[in-house]
Each structure stands twice: as structure tokens, then as C-alpha cells.
């Protein structure tokens, strides 16, 4: 169910504009508004899941779908061969600021080591 004050639920509902890259019944992909690399987009479940810690067994199909959609879009965006990262931040110390689960897809430049 949509959460009224959630920015990503509002993007799903079309109440806030976004550069939409892909959409189906379960997921939405859109460009990150503050890209940290030449290619940076987000893949989100349409359903409001706050963090990775809220994922249940019932969510496993949509999480797997997000990974595959992300890879297909990465290819489409031209970074399939050079490589890219898929990142999910969980809670404050990881840098999560939007509490609607989202998968970052980042590429188009050399990445440093994680950490």
C-alpha cells in the first residue's frame, strides 16, 4: 500500500515527476536526481518496503526481479560490458535517506573499492 509521505510511493503514483526508465506491475526504475556517476538510476518495488530488514519471504520474487531489471537496464544504458554496481543501502550508517527500499545502479566510471 502506498505511504502518503513517502517520496518514492509518490513517484510510483505519478504525483512527483521522475525520468522513468522502466515500469511493470511490480517495479519502477527511474533516474537518480543527484547522479553519482554518468549512469545512476534506481529500481524500486512499487510496494512500500522501508528497508532490507523488512523484506520477507513473500518479497523474494520482487527482489530477484529488481536485480534482473537492473541488469537489463544497465545493458540498455550502455554499461553492460564495462560494468556497474547494484547497491542497496540499509539504514542510517549505510547512507539510507529514503526509507522505501531502492536498488542503486551506478556505472560509467571507474569505481573505487567498497567501504
* Binding site residues, ligand AMP, CB under 6 A: 7, 16, 18, 30, 32-34, 89, 95-98
Minimum distance of ligand AMP from residue 95's CB (angstroms)? 5
Q: Which residues contact 24 (CB under 8 A, 6 or more apart)?
A: 69
| H runs (alpha helix) in 33-94 | 60-76
What distance in Å separates the CA atoms of residue 23 and residue 44, rounded to the nearest whole number?
A: 10
Closest to ligand AMP by CB, 16 or 81 = 16
> Is the CB of residue 71 less than 8 Å from the CB of residue 59?
no
Residue 100 interacting with Zn ion (CB under 5 A)? yes
Q: Which is nearer to ligand AMP, 57 or 114 (CB)?
A: 114
Q: Which residues are designated catalytic? A: 102
Amino acid at each position: 500500500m502506498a505511504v502518503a509521505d513517502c517520496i518514492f510511493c509518490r513517484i510510483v503514483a505519478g504525483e512527483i515527476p521522475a525520468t522513468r526508465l522502466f515500469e511493470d506491475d511490480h517495479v519502477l526504475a527511474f533516474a537518480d536526481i543527484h547522479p553519482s556517476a554518468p549512469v545512476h538510476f534506481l529500481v524500486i518495488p512499487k510496494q512500500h518496503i522501508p528497508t532490507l530488514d523488512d523484506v520477507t519471504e513473500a518479497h523474494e520474487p520482487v527482489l530477484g526481479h529488481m536485480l534482473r531489471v537492473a541488469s537489463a537496464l544497465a545493458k540498455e544504458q550502455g554499461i553492460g560490458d564495462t560494468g556497474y554496481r547494484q547497491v542497496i543501502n540499509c539504514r542510517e550508517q549505510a547512507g539510507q535517506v529514503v526509507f522505501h527500499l531502492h536498488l542503486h545502479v551506478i556505472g560509467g566510471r571507474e569505481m573505487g573499492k567498497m567501504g
